Structure 1
Amino acid sequence: MQNRTQEKNRIHKILQDANIKLTTFVSDVFGVSGRALIESMVNGEVLEAEDVRKMVKTQLKNKVPQLIEALNGRLRLLYRRMIKRHLDHLRYMEKEIQE
């Protein structure tokens, strides 16, 4: 459980370093909506308003313009690779915890 938290903190740190202020609008960055947004950024997708609207759930649909602005930070290839590795490890640990 502690390692899982450390991985989440590492991802938060990388997002902050990249000037991506996702936590300002998304209370749980590792919830369904937050993970979808992070995955799309890691994959290098250009996020348009309609795409973001499809990814987010519930009250976040009202915050799409703010989310687009928060996601405007530049996520360099190095950051994307680092986040991907941390996400992969996080998913592995969550699977192990479930089992």
Structure 2
Amino acid sequence: MIFDHLHARAFQYTPQGRTIVGPAENVKSITKTHLHDVIVASGVVKDEDAVALVEFFFTKFSTDPTIVAQLVVQEPTSFTGSEVRIIDDDIELAHFTVAFIGTSYTDSMISP
């Protein structure tokens, strides 16, 4: 749950700030059909590469031409610096995360 809290605070009011799991009733209602309709890419993945792989492996499964780049334009992500503290005296250890804006993988300083 710590990364759900981190993303919720760091990317407030944007799709990236929403949990990927959702409420328990939603998770329990997931069927094979739901999984069949979703493709997710995470990390340093170029949109074109992800789309090419999806098209190669899953073209027969989807008729929706929407790509990640179009979704980002519809609901852009922005970083919001903030802090949240959740105290739970039943947990003996402290857990924390830190997030900050860094250099993009497309920056000329690190990309060939």
TM-score (norm 1): 0.29
TM-score (norm 2): 0.27
Q: Quick check: which one's helix share is greater?
A: 1
Larger Rg: 2
